[in-house]
């Protein structure tokens, strides 16, 4: 892969149908790894050769441990591939896209996966599969060589083929204190007063401790003051999550969001965070901050919206990557932060606004594959959350244009199988869940017919055509 310091990060990129030629480098993003957070603690985890599975609860710091190791490997001249591996389809799609990059040949997904895994056998890399749901999701997809997997699944099945499992647990007292101290000692050492009590209240959860450290440093209050505020807010979210650790983290983030909301521009950080919580946590296009629908929703101009986003990043509620290669996935946030934000109160118009904001920034002609992928992922996440609402705000009764645009984007990129599945799911939802007649969904049927036609299935195309056209 050329430059010895090059890093590849791939997400959910489909590659099962070759409709048009593409350059070998499209849809790849270079030099992207999760940033090292302040207060990072190595915790003695050894990531040697072979395959290591880092497992533990959400917020334990698995991704940060893998990222720290990947940064050190890159600094030593080792090539790194980082894949956000939330599903089997994501991993296979990433491998297919990477295979096209190294070979210059577009193959169907399964053939591309086999080709790329074979290529890795003779081109050693550190491969990181981040956020794998279960062993089944990567069965047959774990390459030979140096691999790190992060997961919440502690199944013994991970131990197959001699893989090493390393549990990433909670901070020890010393680690939690060191994490807080890294934020405070150099600037305000007196703020560590009563740190031990705060650490105990936070349950030693690394992500909660790190967020508390950012909050303390920003506001300049002591651990004792923060503990008072934490306890005062705790009852508001006591039933938010099924276990104590998640409730602790939710309360921590509530305080941080409130702090950001109090700073200039006052009152914008919280509603912005609310809207971002319905989009894809792994990567939201930075262009969303320029969307007219978002400005109208916040009653703010672009500069004010950017300032509000900066406040959220300053308090580690989101991360913003302004690297040129990250244009498609510049805003990231932890899924637990999103969940705590969403469930703090019922949605008002955030879902509809987010849908229109995606439409506002979605280019009619897609020239940036990474951006198109990020838009599709956010549209998918938004549709999933909308389905949990009654009534569904994205079906009134016809589907919102963003749902159609996501399917068209898959078609334009040549991912016909994924596009077919997308429109089939929309058709099924409209008919089975909402009871709409087939003719009410004629535009979805037309897209399905078009997909069958492109694939050479003339009979299937005729079956999908609506029996009559709307007048």
* Same-domain check for residues 179 and 162: no
Question: Are residues 145 and 36 part of one domain?
Answer: yes
Q: Say if residue 163 is in the same domain as residue 208.
A: no
- Residue 191 burial (C-beta neighbours within 10 Å; 0-12, 13-18, 19+): buried
- pTM exceeding 0.75: no
Distance (Å, whole) CA 358 – CA 426: 18
* Cα separations in angstroms, 359 against 246, 283, 392, 400: 33, 17, 18, 10
Q: Are residues 157 and 87 in the same domain?
A: yes
Q: What pLDDT does residue 80 have?
A: 92
Q: What angle do CA 25, 149, 138 make, to 5 degrees?
A: 75
The confidence score (pLDDT) of residue 323 equals 63
Q: Does residue 328 form part of some domain?
A: no
Domain that holds residue 432: 395-471
User: Residue 451 burial by CB count (10 A; 0-12/13-18/19+): exposed, middle or buried?
Assistant: buried
- Residue 54 sits in a domain whose CATH number is 3.40.50.300
Would you say residue 118 lies in a domain? yes
Separation CA 159–CA 147 (nearest Å): 13
Question: Does a structural domain hold residue 351?
Answer: no
Query: 28 with 146, same domain?
Result: yes
Answer yes or no: do 178 and 141 share one domain.
no
Looking at the fold, whether 75 and 155 belong to one and the same domain comes out as yes
CB atoms within 10 A of CB 38: 13
Task: Classify residue 322: in a domain, yes or no.
Answer: no
Question: By the 8 A CB rule, do 179 and 206 touch?
Answer: yes
- Upper half-sphere CA count for residue 198 (Cβ side, 13 Å): 31
- Collapsing DSSP states into helix, strand and coil, what is residue 274? helix
pLDDT tens over the chain, length 471 residues: 434 344 555 543 332 222 222 333 333 443 478 877 778 898 888 898 899 999 987 788 999 999 999 999 999 999 999 998 888 988 998 899 899 889 999 899 999 999 999 999 999 899 999 989 889 999 999 999 999 999 988 888 999 999 999 999 889 999 999 999 888 866 677 788 889 999 988 888 898 888 888 888 888 888 998 888 877 755 444 433 335 555 666 777 788 888 889 889 999 999 999 999 999 988 899 999 999 999 999 999 999 999 999 989 888 788 887 665 555 568 988 776 887 888 788 899 999 999 999 999 999 999 988 899 899 999 999 999 999 899 999 998 889 999 999 999 999 988 898 999 999 999 999 998 888 876 668 889 999 988 987 766 555 544 555 554 444
Indicate whether 134 belongs to any domain. yes
In a domain, 211, yes or no: yes
User: Where does a domain end: 262, 297, 325?
Assistant: 262
Say if 286 falls within a structural domain.
Answer: no
Query: Does residue 361 fall inside a structural domain?
Result: no
Residues 162 and 180 in one domain: no
Shared-domain flag, residues 59 and 203:
no
Same domain, 187 and 99: no
Query: Where residue 446 sits, what CATH number does that domain have?
Result: 1.25.40
Report the distance separating Cα 179 and Cα 291, nearest Å: 37
Exposed, middle or buried, 310 (CB in 10 Å: 0-12/13-18/19+)? middle
* Same domain, residue pair 74 and 215: no
**Residue 270 corresponds to which tokens in the numbers above?**
């919280």
């Amino acid at each position: 892969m050329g430059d010895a310091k090059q890093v590849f990060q791939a997400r959910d990129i489909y590659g099962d149908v070759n409709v048009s030629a593409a350059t070998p480098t499209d849809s790849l993003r270079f030099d992207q790894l999760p940033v090292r957070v302040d207060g990072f603690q190595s915790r003695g985890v050894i990531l040697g050769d072979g395959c290591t599975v880092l497992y533990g609860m959400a917020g334990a710091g698995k991704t940060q441990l893998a990222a720290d190791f990947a940064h050190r490997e890159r600094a030593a001249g080792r090539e790194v591939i980082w894949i956000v591996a939330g599903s089997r389809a994501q991993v296979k799609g990433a491998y297919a896209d990477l295979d096209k990059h190294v070979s210059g040949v577009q193959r169907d997904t399964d053939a591309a996966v086999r080709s790329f895994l074979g290529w890795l056998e003779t081109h050693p890399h550190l491969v990181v599969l981040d956020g794998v749901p279960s062993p089944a999701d990567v069965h047959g997809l774990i390459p030979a060589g140096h691999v790190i997997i992060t997961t919440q699944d502690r199944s013994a099945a991970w131990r197959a083929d001699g893989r090493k499992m390393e549990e990433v647990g909670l901070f020890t007292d010393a680690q939690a204190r060191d994490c807080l101290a890294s934020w405070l000692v150099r600037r305000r050492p007196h703020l560590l007063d009563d740190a031990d009590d705060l650490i105990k209240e936070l349950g030693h959860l690394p992500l909660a401790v790190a967020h508390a450290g950012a909050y303390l440093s920003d506001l300049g209050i002591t651990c004792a003051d923060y503990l008072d505020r934490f306890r005062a807010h705790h009852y508001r979210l006591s039933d938010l999550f099924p276990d104590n650790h998640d409730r602790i983290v939710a309360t921590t983030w509530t305080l941080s969001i409130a702090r950001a909301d109090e700073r200039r521009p006052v009152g914008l950080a919280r509603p912005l965070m609310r809207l971002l919580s319905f989009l894809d946590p792994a990567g939201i296009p930075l262009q969303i901050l320029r969307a007219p629908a978002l400005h109208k929703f916040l009653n703010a101009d672009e500069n004010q919206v950017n300032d509000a986003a900066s406040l959220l990043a300053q308090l580690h509620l989101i991360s913003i990557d302004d690297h040129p290669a990250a244009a498609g996935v510049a805003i990231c946030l932890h899924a637990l932060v999103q969940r705590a934000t969403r469930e703090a109160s019922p949605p008002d118009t955030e879902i509809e606004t987010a849908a229109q904001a995606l439409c506002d920034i979605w280019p009619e002609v897609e020239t940036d594959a990474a951006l198109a992928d990020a838009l599709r992922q956010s549209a998918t996440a938004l549709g999933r959350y909308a389905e949990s609402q009654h009534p569904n705000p994205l079906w009134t009764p016809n589907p919102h244009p963003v749902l159609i645009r996501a399917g068209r984007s898959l078609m334009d990129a040549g991912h016909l199988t994924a596009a077919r599945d997308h429109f089939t799911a929309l058709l099924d939802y409209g008919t089975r869940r909402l009871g709409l007649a087939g003719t009410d969904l004629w535009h979805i049927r037309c897209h399905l017919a078009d997909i069958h036609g492109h694939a050479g299935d003339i009979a299937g195309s005729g079956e999908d055509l609506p029996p009559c056209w709307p007048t």
